[in-house]
Amino acid sequence: MARRVRDVLLIGTALLWLIPTYLVVVNASTAADDYAGPSWWPGSWGFFDNLSTAFETADIGQAMSNSLLYSTGAALIAVGVAALASFAVVIMPVKRPAVWFWAIYTGTLLPLQVFLSPLFNGYADTSLYDTQYGMVLIYAAIAVPFAFFVIRNYMTTAPREMMEAAQLDGASWIAMFVRIHLPLARGALLAAFLFQFLATWNDLLFGITLSTSPNVRPLMAALAELNGQYAGLGPPVILAAGLVASAPTVALFLGFQRFFVNALKLTP
Amino acid sequence: MTALDERNSALTPRTRPARPGNSQRPHGSLLLFLFPAVALVGILLILPFLFTVYRSFFRDNGFSRSWVGLENYTTLLTDDIFLRSVLNTGMWTAGTLLLPVLLGLLIAVGTNSVRWGPMARFAIVLPYALSGSVTALLWNFMLQTDGATNAMLDSLGLSTLERSWLLEWPMNTIVMIIATTWQATGASMILFLVGLQAIPAETIEAGRVDGAGGFRLFRSIVLPQLRPISVVVIGISLVNSLKTFDIVWLLTRGGPGTESETLALTMYRQTFTLSRYGYGAAVAVILTVIVLLASWTYLRRQLRTN
């Protein structure tokens, strides 16, 4: 009896959880002109028209390609830079590795708001404001501490014998790093890359603070602008854009679920 | 918990592997390896952080700046808008600890060993793949006065329950916490599931042999074993809830007026809308202190009792 009640509650919760997604899909598919309040069943089919309205109004296509550039670029830079630093702290005979660790890791403990206004002023003074270079640079910097944390932890737990056995006589540090430690740590590198890719893709705060023109603006900032025209454009257009904006993250997330579980456990 | 043990090990000296044969002097290459990370973090994060702290002692409108000492902070303490913002942030923290964490635990335990478990869990975890902004977009549609929630209530004959969800405090903060619960429960559920599956079957079996079952088994056998993973889940939720920005920015802009602002929004509005850079910096510093204190006290207490 108790088991029956539990099952009903759990299945009920799961169904309840699906309702918003279901309603959004149905109403994003309704042609904007036919929309007359939220409906439970699909009426007309206008998903792609809605989408093209969204793309024209808020330049969603450009914003998506910007976000793709920022997410890929920043995650690649961050992972590379973090791997170098992890190697130095874990493998090389550094004095006071703990000091270096905290110097880099502190960046992820501080709330992002505390960086914003000096960055805004600094970007304005150095003409990085509203440029693609500027965006890649800040997203990379934000991503370094956590990527460093993941890769460093991995390097400290990797089997030591394996590394020692693989060490080459007389090889330079760089050769050791490139030939042995990078390949050994590829699981951690991939996890850090995926995690930072998604974090950058999902960012709103820096997008609305450090960029303004449609050519530079990342996707979430463009969606925010689109959402501001909710009344004028109608919900189907907004929802269609929201669904398309989520497609890459949903795909990545479902494809690499195991990596996220591992990365989540390490989140500060 | 591995994450915490490993974090701790950062502080203890470690033995090093044998160095390469001709043992190069590391100084030159050390710079090469550490410099990029330290430079990026130092210039783009630590320097701005220090400048924010410095700026919080000034009255600063972007053009002129004058030293006012602690005045920004003392003004904050009597600023009703700021105090409301602190209250809202507290509601976010309490709500996030109560809802996504508890629900995640219950769903993980409930679906762990049933046949249809994976299907139910998929429904819960799907929203976690969405960003905060997209979640806000979807829930904007749900929560508008002419939106889907009211339409749903209407079609169920419950029109007396219809509300202007986003226009009245504290209802707007509560429904936004629920929207976040919808998005975030999947994450804590996954983590609790990982913790559950790490409990040795013999432990559970031993409990059963001793006559424990149902709730007692859960309370005295399962729950203590989940303690390390709970530290991680609660820690993440705590810090994230303190930094709540995206969903509030998109759903209410902190409004109506400033009623649903969180600290992150108050800082943003003071700084970028009102150009009160010093005052905004003081809000950012207070937020930072709260975040650091929360993670520090919490982690320290947990580590000591472990």
Identity at A69, one-letter amino acid code: L
Do residues B249 and A221 lie in contact, with contact meaning Cβ atoms separated by under 8 Å?
no
- Residue B60, strand partner residues: B65
Do residues A148 and B36 lie in contact, with contact meaning Cβ atoms separated by under 8 Å?
no
Report the phi/psi class of residue B60: left, alpha or beta, with left for phi > 0 and alpha for psi in -120 to 50: beta
Do residues B101 and B298 lie in contact, with contact meaning Cβ atoms separated by under 8 Å?
no
A21 touches chain B (CB under 8 A): yes
Distance CA A201, CA A207 (A): 10
Q: Which ipTM value was assigned to this complex?
A: 0.87
Chain A residues 128-187 with CB within 8 Å of chain B: 137-138, 140-142, 144-145, 148, 152-153, 156-157, 160, 163-164, 167-174, 176-177
Would the CB atoms of B134 and A223 count as touching at under 8 Å?
yes
- Residue B66, strand partner residues: B59
Give me the pLDDT at residue B66, please.
87
| Phi, psi (deg, nearest 5) at residue B114 | -110, 155
Buried b (16+ CB within 10 A) or exposed e, A165-202: eebeeebebeebbeebbbebbeebbebbbbbbbbbbbb
**B72 to chain A: which residues are within 8 Å by CB?**
none
Closest partner CB to A81 (pick from B37, B47, B285): B37
Q: Parallel, antiparallel, or unpaired: how do β-strands B58-60 and B65-67 relate?
A: antiparallel
Distance CA A21, CA B186 (A): 14
Closest partner CB to A227 (pick from B137, B152, B191): B137
In chain B the domains, ranked by start, together with CATH numbers, are 73-305 (1.10.3720.10)
Distance CA B145, CA B142 (A): 9
List C-alpha distances in Å: B271 to A220, A231, B79, B246, B277: 21, 28, 16, 17, 5
Identity at B74, one-letter amino acid code: T
Do residues B252 and B172 lie in contact, with contact meaning Cβ atoms separated by under 8 Å?
yes
Would the CB atoms of A148 and B37 count as touching at under 8 Å?
yes
Do residues A146 and A259 lie in contact, with contact meaning Cβ atoms separated by under 8 Å?
no
Q: Which residue has the higher pLDDT, B194 or A73?
A: A73
In chain A the domains, ranked by start, together with CATH numbers, are 2-45 (no CATH), 64-234+247-266 (1.10.3720.10)
User: Which residue of A lies nearest to B230 if distances are taken between CA atoms?
Assistant: A265
Closest partner CB to B111 (pick from A10, A17, A174): A10
On the question of pLDDT at A76 being above 50, the answer is yes
pLDDT tens string, chain B, 306 residues long: the values are 334 444 444 444 444 444 444 444 556 778 889 999 999 999 999 999 999 999 999 998 878 888 998 999 999 999 999 999 999 999 999 998 889 999 999 999 888 878 888 888 889 988 988 888 899 989 998 998 888 888 888 888 888 888 888 898 889 999 999 999 999 998 889 889 888 888 888 887 887 787 766 777 888 888 888 887 888 788 888 888 998 999 999 999 987 889 999 999 999 999 999 999 999 999 999 999 999 888 787 767 665 654
Q: What is the pLDDT of residues A154-173, one digit of tens each?
A: 888 767 666 666 565 667 78
Computed from CA positions of residues B221, B227, B230, B234, in that sequence, does the dihedral angle turn out positive or negative?
A: positive
List C-alpha distances in Å: B297 to B53, B265, B289: 22, 25, 12
Beta strands in chain A (DSSP E): none
Would the CB atoms of A245 and B239 count as touching at under 8 Å?
no
Give me the pLDDT at residue A46, please.
84
